[in-house]
Chains A and B, each alone.
Chain A
Amino acid sequence: MLAIKLAFKNLMGAGLRTWLNVIVLSLAFVLIIFYNGLMDGWNRQARNDTQDWEIGNGQFWHPDYDKFDPYTIEESNEVISDEIQTLIEEDKVTPLLIRQITIYPQGRLMSARLKGVDPNQEIIKLPSADIRNSQNKYAAIIGEGMANATKLKVGDQVLMRWRDKNGTFDAHEIEIVSIFNCNVPQVENGTIYMDIEVVQEMANLHNQATMLVTSRDYENTKLEGWEFKDLNFLLAEFDKIIESKKGGGMVLQSILLLLALLAVFDTQVLSIFRRQKEIGTYMALGLTRTRIVGIFTVEGAAHSILAAIVGAIYGIPLFIYLSKVGIYYGNIAKASGLTIAETLYPYYSVGLIITSIIIVVVSATIVSYLPARKISKMSPTQALKGKIQ
């Protein structure tokens, strides 16, 4: 208690020097929380969006399907069994049939991926009902990214060429009936969505699908003839991106923290040098060396406590504001090709705040202790005289 009282008294006595240290340390503090909160917010939003738009609670793939190998698409189809049909009717899974196609927007040849989707499904956020509401059998929906790449608008017709399961060419005009806005690039890039029954007829693959997307509340992971891919598998690439982004951010945060800690270290060295008589007096009064080291260490570490308080004064309103208003990334988000919303809302968890406090306090304590160790080697008489040791 004495150590804490003395520490704060001395800190206040040091005036501007203390407050400069505290401000730099609080900046490091706020930045660490802000950056990690931003990453966590992005991670939460992106996972949520990917689940909403693409993967639900996981997907059942045809055993031969490999999303990284387009060669597998042609042969990766399985008949939708009665059991699966029941699940479809209960809105627990929705089938997708994937084919490779070629489109000719403005006479240019362009390879794309055609996904047959159930127009009545409500498991993924795709506006598949727009297909149902169209009178055109060859009604299609595309994302904004695809619309920009192909320069197609709602109501446009574009020629599509495809092959059926036997390899025979066929071609027909399709009509773009709606264009949706989505934060998940892989949902819209190079992809056209049409009624699954029409795609099955086009490919001569009646009642077949490439994959089944499960609803958010569907827990079963076994279906005869299909391989279940869980969220960890389907989001593995995204998790790696977040990890690498966090890693990159850590370097910057460490540099800022090191600078702040260097200031604390300097202050400690200076105060031990200048306050030798005080140290000698403590010794003469009978305080053990360990206790004196403790007083000086607490004094240094108290910088971090003050930094946490100062950081909270300007950080909390800032964090509350940002988590409500968000940070607008606009078109940069789409251009990046990553799953990222136009406006990111940082997410500050209790865990993140506590971890950040612990990191700053512990590191400040360590850098305060290192110069204070010198006290244990001081001779009391020399210290009282204030002679340099």
Chain B
Amino acid sequence: MKNILISLFTFLFLGSLSAQNANKIIEKVDANMSSKNRIVESSMIIHGKRNSRTITSLSYSVGDKKSFTEYLSPARERGTKMLKLEDKLWIYSPSTDRIIQISGHMLRQSLMGSDLSYEDMMDDRKLTEVYTAKVVGEENIDGRKCYILELKAKVVDVAYYSQKIWIDQEYFVPLKEDLFAKSGKLLKQTTFSNVKKVQGRWYPTKMVYKDMLKQGNGTEFIVNSMKFNQEIQEYIFTKAALKQ
């Protein structure tokens, strides 16, 4: 009986220690990945069944509530702009010269044929706000030592009920992310690579998103340039800026 109690307390103690460590890890990840604001120029390579296409864009974002993206190429997408304010999203298309609000089930549509949905772009709350974490192991990814964290939703309004994240033990940058449905089905997988130091932060500059339920080779997202904590004019985050 005594042995059982000791084992139980040891298990609970180690469990809570694991949770504490995990929470500290994701806090560090959040601290590393979040910034006051940032300006990112990126390329999105969408791999289709027959061919691939590249879309370049310039994004301005402040915290996790405001962001503005302008598509620069190809010619077909050039001038398309997207504005996100809190939980609302508007798109401006130069060919129609109209601003459309994307809401409801349209948010679940693919973003320009990629493996990302509009909704995936919308939900960028900090991990610590949404999940409770547990360290479940360690593994090497591309020669980097990683913690494996299991995240379980602690709020009800979350898109992915659980996640498994591989965090670089030195840079506190996620290198792989598996997103699961409530039933435990793997829905999406993201791999992060080319981690570079930008203004004192370590940041992955290549991400590959893959909808695991869909055929295809996923969507690559490559950061061409990135600047943190810049002066961004407030008017950029207005609907009027979409038509400019």
| A residues at B contact (CB < 8 Å) | 70-71, 73-74, 100, 102, 104, 106-109, 111, 159, 161, 163-164, 166-172
Contacts and interface: CB of A to CB of B under 8 A. Distances in A.
Interface of B: 103-105, 108-110, 153, 156-161, 181-183, 185, 187, 211, 213-216
A266 B136 CA distance: 99
27 contacts: A70-B105, A71-B103, A71-B104, A71-B105, A74-B104, A74-B105, A100-B105, A104-B214, A107-B213, A107-B214, A107-B216, A108-B214, A108-B215, A109-B211, A109-B214, A161-B213, A166-B156, A168-B156, A168-B161, A169-B159, A169-B160, A170-B161, A170-B183, A170-B185, A171-B185, A171-B187, A172-B183
Nearest to A109: B214
A106 B157 CA distance: 30
Contacts of B156: 166, 168
Nearest to A75: B104
Contact of A168 (B103, B104, B158): B158
Contact of B182 (A73, A102, A107, A169): A169
B174 to A, nearest CB: 19
B159 A164 contact: no
Contacts of A163: 159
In the complex, the 8 A-B pairs of residues with the closest C-beta atoms, listed nearest first: A107-B215, A71-B104, A170-B182, A171-B185, A171-B181, A166-B156, A170-B181, A100-B105
Contacts of A109: 110, 211, 213-214
Contacts of B105: 70-71, 73-74, 100, 111
Contacts of A159: 185, 213
Interface centre among B109, B187, B213 (most CB of A within 10 A): B213
Contacts of A100: 105, 108
B213 A168 contact: no
B215 A168 contact: no
Nearest to A204: B156
A166 B181 contact: no
Given A70-B104, A70-B105, A168 B187 contact: no
A170 B181 CA distance: 4
Contacts of A104: 213-214
**What is the predominant secondary structure among interface residues of chain B facing chain A?**
loop
A168 B182 CA distance: 7
A171 B104 CA distance: 19
Contacts of A102: 108
A363 B219 CA distance: 71
A185 B109 CA distance: 24
Nearest to B109: A111
Interface centre among A73, A102, A104, A171 (most CB of B within 10 A): A171
Contacts of A164: 182
Nearest to A74: B104
A106 B215 CA distance: 8
Nearest to A100: B105
Contacts of A108: 214-215
A71 B159 CA distance: 18
A169 B214 contact: no
Contacts of A169: 159-161, 181-182, 187
Nearest to B188: A169
Given A166-B158, A167-B157, A168-B156, 18 more contacts: A71-B104, A71-B105, A73-B104, A74-B105, A107-B213, A109-B211, A111-B109, A161-B187, A163-B159, A166-B157, A168-B158, A168-B161, A168-B182, A170-B161, A170-B182, A170-B183, A171-B181, A171-B183
Contacts of A111: 105, 108-109
A194 to B, nearest CB: 15
Contacts of A171: 181, 183, 185, 187, 213
A168 B153 contact: yes
Nearest to B179: A169
Contacts of B160: 168-169
Contacts of B158: 166-168
Contacts of A172: 183, 185
A27 to B, nearest CB: 51
A171 B153 CA distance: 17
A243 B119 CA distance: 43
Interface centre among A111, A159, A167, A172 (most CB of B within 10 A): A167
B11 to A, nearest CB: 29
A172 B185 CA distance: 7
Nearest to A161: B213
Nearest to B155: A166
Contacts of B215: 106-108
